[in-house]
Amino acid sequence: MASVTSIDLAPYYDVRAGRDARGALIAAVDRALRDIGFLCIRGHPVPHAVIEQTQQMALQFFDSDPPHKHSALAVRHRHRGYTPLGDIALSYAMREGADPHPPDLFERYRIGPFDFADDPYHRARGDGAYAPNVWPAGIAGFQSCISAYYRHMSGLSRDLMRIFAMALGLEERWFDPLIDREMSSLCLNHYPAPQAEPLPGQLRAAAHTDYGTLTIVASTSAPGSLQVHTRDGRWETVVAEPGTFVVNIGDMMAQWTNDRWVSTLHRVVNPEPLDAPRSRRLSLVYFHQPNPDALVSCIPTCVSADRPARYAPVTAGDYISRRISMHFKSA
């Protein structure tokens, strides 16, 4: 059996679903996040056409001429805009001050929040959590399409956090005041078909854990795919059915739950040489992160006399900014 299970969210959205059906869903989510920290979800409200349209628009961006891509270079704020191939190494954040692997074999375009009020709270954090997005020039419809997908992911993340709350024995909306000014980001990750042999130890994305609350991934099907590190030490390929999302929790959620839930190592492997010509891959990756001033302190239902709090409280903004800065080759 696959370690990453597929879970139908339909009972959460169906008002006619009985208590037993919703309870089974919540128990399945809790079990998956205890066991491996990953699950595939179906029965969500995001139309498949929206996913496909966003993928097509993303590929149009990565296929555009260099001047178009470089018009959105992430210069002032490295967590906004375009980052070329060779400038990111996700494994760097695993060991501070070390370069355990060569740069990863993908390029990225990233946006952050944009539907927020012009008020003192957001202005005070304008150069960090709410830095301005950098949109490419000359690609018609790009901004509206990517923005619409971000909004869909924000809504789905809110729903997942409510399911998470119930799985942790909390009131359904327990997380709501901690994520109503979320500093989440959407990344378009493009893994081009390889043109040369990778360097020793070089992967499309080296083994790493995510650092936020949860991640939602929609990826195209191509050789050289996502793998998770199982409890028995194997690397297992994650197979997601069409129309489903892969969801995993990050280090912040593991810390929030006092390690009741696990943040699991994962990677994106290189294709086999014979598969290289048809191995171009695209992933739409939404990193959900709480409000920057949200205090991440071990949740009361995850602490007991036998399991005291393992982590000191930390604000989400401080935690996230440190981890993002460690991903870049020149950091």
Pairing of strands 81-83, 107-111: antiparallel
Q: How confident is the model at residue 79 (pLDDT cuts 50, 70, 90)?
A: confident
Quick check: is 37 in a domain?
Answer: no
Quick check: is 76 in a domain?
Answer: yes
As a whole number of angstroms, the distance between CA 130 and CA 69 comes to 22
CATH number at residue 195: 2.60.120.330
* Burial class for 127, CB neighbours closer than 10 Å (0-12, 13-18, 19+): exposed
Model-level pTM? 0.94
The dihedral built from the CA positions of residue 107, 285, 4 and 302, taken in this order, carries a sign that is positive
Quick check: is 28 in a domain?
Answer: no
Quick check: is 26 in a domain?
Answer: no
Quick check: is 33 in a domain?
Answer: no
Q: How confident is the model at residue 1 (pLDDT cuts 50, 70, 90)?
A: low
Domain around 118: 46-325
Quick check: is 21 in a domain?
Answer: no
Judged by DSSP in three states, 269 sits in coil
As a whole number of angstroms, the distance between CA 82 and CA 6 comes to 32
Quick check: is 15 in a domain?
Answer: no
Q: For residue 128, what pLDDT is reported?
A: 81
* Residues 281 and 225 sit within 8 Å (Cβ to Cβ): yes
Give how many domains the chain has, as a whole number.
1
Q: Please give the average per-residue pLDDT across 10-28, as a whole number.
A: 94
Quick check: is 7 in a domain?
Answer: no
Q: Which of 28, 33, 21, 38 is nearest to 302 (CA)?
A: 33
- Look up tokens 């996230």; give the residue: 320
As a whole number of angstroms, the distance between CA 189 and CA 319 comes to 23
pLDDT in tens, 208-265: 999 999 999 999 989 989 999 999 999 999 988 888 999 999 999 999 999 999 999 9
